[in-house]
Homo-oligomer: A and B are copies of this chain.
Amino acid sequence: MNQMHAHAFDIGGPPLDEPKTLVEGAYRQLRRDIIEGRHPPGEKLRVEHLKDQYQVGAGTLREALALLVSDSLVVAQGQRGFRVSPISLSDIEDITRTRVLLECEALRQSMTAGDEAWEADVVSAFHRLTRAEEKLASDVEGAVNEWEERNRLFHEKLIAACPSRWTRQFLGVLYQQSERYRRISVLTRPVPRDVHDEHEKIFEATIARDTKTATKLLGGHIMRTFRAIESLAELHPGVFQPLQAAAAENGARPAVANDAARDKS
């Protein structure tokens, strides 16, 4: 059955199925806008404004927002409406560590249970990711979105043979979260380190069925992504923290670094 609500790992990038309902359409658009940072963390999501923007009734948008709570992308506060889930550096670290724990275990199980068809999918996904990384290096317009998509698919295919649906579901949620802050950091500086080499080594170890090496590399890879964000946050203090509290009023540009210090006085 085509589940209306699905997490990141469940839905393929190109919309294979059109949204069957307005609620689902609004849900998908909103999810995309949140993940890609058009609705920054902490922003208040006013139904009255958003219903015009997304061309649906108030009740419909409300339901879409309620569905987004499933992905932990939106939080609902009693009589005070909805807002985008806040992000802090410690939260990002938590997301990363939990992801390492689950994704390494999932890869281990996937490598144990995976058959030839799975292997072929992994090869294919790695190939596509490689091509996207080449385009990214050439600084082609719009290559970032494609790279994000293929990076997600590569990670997804790696663990696709893991028999635990719950593990995959949780990883889907965590991946969405990490994509959110990765996108934010990209706004400041493009990816500097050699991710392709990391991906390649993970890929080779996986195909060689070297479980120990593959999980170790994958864990290091995820952790290193976080370290990059971390050092970036130190260079630009208040890139993440303010977004949590400041809560851009109505789509206001995140007036990030300035306000942080003034709060104390």
A127 at the interface (CB under 8 A from B): no
Chain B contacts for A20, CB-based, 8 A: 78-79
Contact B163 A78 (CB under 8 A): no
| A62-B63, A67-B66, A67-B69 as given contacts; A75 in contact with B165, CB under 8 Å | no
Task: Report A196-214 CB contacts with B as 1/0, cut-off 8 Å.
Answer: 0000000000000000000
A223 at the interface (CB under 8 A from B): no
Option from B63, B72, B97 in Cβ contact (under 8 Å) with A63: B63
Chain B contacts for A79, CB-based, 8 A: 20-21
Contact B105 A101 (CB under 8 A): yes
Chain B contacts for A1, CB-based, 8 A: 77
> How distant is the Cα of A167 from the Cα of B79 in the complex, in angstroms?
28
A3 at the interface (CB under 8 A from B): yes
A59 at the interface (CB under 8 A from B): yes
Option from B78, B94, B165 in Cβ contact (under 8 Å) with A4: B78
Chain B contacts for A97, CB-based, 8 A: 164
- Size of chain A's interface in residues, with CB distance under 8 A? 38
Contact B77 A3 (CB under 8 A): yes
A250 at the interface (CB under 8 A from B): no
A5 at the interface (CB under 8 A from B): yes
A146 to chain B, nearest CB (A): 27
A2 at the interface (CB under 8 A from B): yes
> How distant is the Cα of A75 from the Cα of B59 in the complex, in angstroms?
19
Q: Which of chain B's residues has its CB closest to A170's CB? A: B170
Task: Report A167-182 CB contacts with B as 1/0, cut-off 8 Å.
Answer: 1011000100000000
A91 at the interface (CB under 8 A from B): yes
Contact A77 B2 (CB under 8 A): yes
A9 to chain B, nearest CB (A): 15
Chain B contacts for A166, CB-based, 8 A: 94-95, 98, 174
Tell me the A residues contacting B by CB distance below 8 Å.
Answer: 1-5, 19-21, 24, 59, 62-63, 66-67, 69-70, 72, 75-79, 91, 94-95, 97-98, 101-102, 105, 163-167, 169-170, 174
| Residue contacts A-B, CB under 8 angstroms, 27 given | A1-B77, A2-B77, A3-B75, A3-B76, A3-B77, A4-B76, A4-B77, A4-B78, A5-B75, A5-B76, A20-B79, A21-B78, A59-B59, A62-B63, A63-B63, A66-B66, A67-B76, A69-B69, A69-B70, A70-B70, A94-B164, A95-B166, A98-B164, A98-B166, A98-B170, A101-B102, A166-B174
